[in-house]
Amino acid sequence: MALKAYDKIKHAVRWWLLRRLPTCKQTVKVISESMERKLSLRERITVKLHLWICLWCVWYLEHLNLMRDTIRAKASEEVNLESSSLPPLSAEARERMKLRLSQPND
Amino acid sequence: MSEPQRTPKSQPPDFSSWVDLHGDYLYKYAIFRLRDGSAAEDCVQETFLAALKAYRGFEGRGSERTWLVGILKHKVTDHFRRVTREAPIGETEGDEFEHNEFFTRTDEWNNHWNNNYAPSDWHATPAELIERSDFWKVLNDCLSPLPERTARAFTLREVDSLTSEQICEALNITVNNLWVMLHRARLHLRNCLEINWFTKETTD
């Protein structure tokens, strides 16, 4: 019984907070900017509170960090770029460049 | 039959061999950043020609590829500077990537995540994502619908790890422009990656 009342209060507090805090739409923008600049104290508090209530935005932040870490790790591996599925240099361009390099004085 | 140990100074190396040794790598490097085949080809060719002229100064110090990539980096930046100078930024560039539909709801929670677009748990670590062989291709496909400058800002920031100041200088934009662009790129990419990587198996 006590547990049920506690859950109800928790739910009410979250609902009340979410109605007053910046929306998800506003929060994801600040989350993105947190990767670019130091947030103000007010921003940090409202984002923290929002994340306490909203799991979707928690995942959003997690995914942005995951994207950054993965891309940067991947970019530092030369070999992977070469074996990647990006297109290679076309045969025509290859020939043209070879020609230019073998006759440098043109 | 073995190759000579050292190329005599009077006899320069066969420069056209660079095309086979480094051509594909440089091209992939450039096309990922420029997303335009002919511009990427131009940059690679300019890199080779500039390297040809500067070879005497290089003289085999360090890796030839690293040296060539260093030159290419400048060529790619120059290309972007040229393009952006010709097309100054419009006020509404990329507004369609605000993705308002992600946050449109008909209930009392409008401006919060719409259930159809809300993030889900990826259960993934960078190590697992790095393993994916289609990594660059998917990233490239997801970036390609974005306005050129927005995609470019994202690549400079996340792939090349440049600072805000360097990017604003290269793209001729203000720091507020940059933050808006990065936000839109991230919003779009996250959704695109989720569709391509994490929901394919479950939607069947």
Output the pLDDT for position B96.
Answer: 79
Q: Which of residues 14-53 of A touch B (CB under 8 A)?
A: 18, 23-26, 28-29, 32-33, 35-37
Cβ within 8 Å of residue B49, ≥6 positions away? A100, A101, A104
**Mean pLDDT to the nearest integer, A25-42:** 96
Q: pTM of this prediction?
A: 0.79
Output the pLDDT for position B78.
Answer: 85
Provide the Cα torsion B149, A79, B48, B24; round to 10°: -80
- Give B56-101 pLDDT, tens digit per residue: 777 767 788 888 998 998 898 888 878 777 666 665 677 778 899 9
Query: Looking at CA atoms only, how far is residue A57 from chain B in angstroms?
Result: 8
Contact criterion met (CB < 8 Å) for A59 and B122: yes
Output the pLDDT for position A84.
Answer: 66
Output the pLDDT for position A79.
Answer: 56
Query: Looking at CA atoms only, how far is residue B143 from chain A in angstroms?
Result: 13
Higher pLDDT, B22 or B35: B22
Chain Cα centroid distance, residue B88: 21
Instruction: Concatenate the DSSP letters of all residues of chain A into one string.
Output: -HHHHHHHHHHHHHHHHHHHSPPHHHHHHHHHHTTTSPPPHHHHHHHHHHHHH-HHHHHHHHHHHHHHHHHHHHHT-HHHHHTSSS----HHHHHHHHHHHHSTT-
Best A36, A63, A99 residue to mutate vs chain B (most B CBs within 10 Å): A63
Query: Looking at CA atoms only, how far is residue A13 from chain B in angstroms?
Result: 16
Contact criterion met (CB < 8 Å) for A89 and B111: no
- Give B158-202 pLDDT, tens digit per residue: 988 889 998 998 888 899 999 999 999 999 999 999 998 877 554
Do B65 and B22 form a contact (C-beta atoms < 8 A)? yes
Residue A98 CA to residue B125 CA, distance in Å, equals 43
Nearest-5° angle of CA A63, CA A43, CA B120? 20
Instruction: List the one residue out of A70, A58, A1, A55 whose CA is nearest residue A31.
Output: A58
Output the pLDDT for position A14.
Answer: 85
- Give A71-95 pLDDT, tens digit per residue: 888 777 655 566 666 788 899 999 9
Residue A89 CA to residue A98 CA, distance in Å, equals 12
Residue B71 CA to residue B153 CA, distance in Å, equals 20
Question: Is the pLDDT score of B6 beyond 60?
Answer: no
Output the pLDDT for position B88.
Answer: 62
| Residues across chain B | 204
- Backbone φ and ψ for A55, nearest 5 degrees, come out as -70, -35
Output the pLDDT for position B4.
Answer: 47
Which residue blocks in chain B are alpha helix, DSSP H?
A: 17-34, 37-58, 64-86, 126-131, 135-143, 148-154, 164-171, 175-193, 200-203
Do B53 and B29 form a contact (C-beta atoms < 8 A)? no
Residue B63 CA to residue B71 CA, distance in Å, equals 13
Higher pLDDT, A60 or A19: A60
- Give B121-145 pLDDT, tens digit per residue: 998 888 888 888 777 788 888 998 9
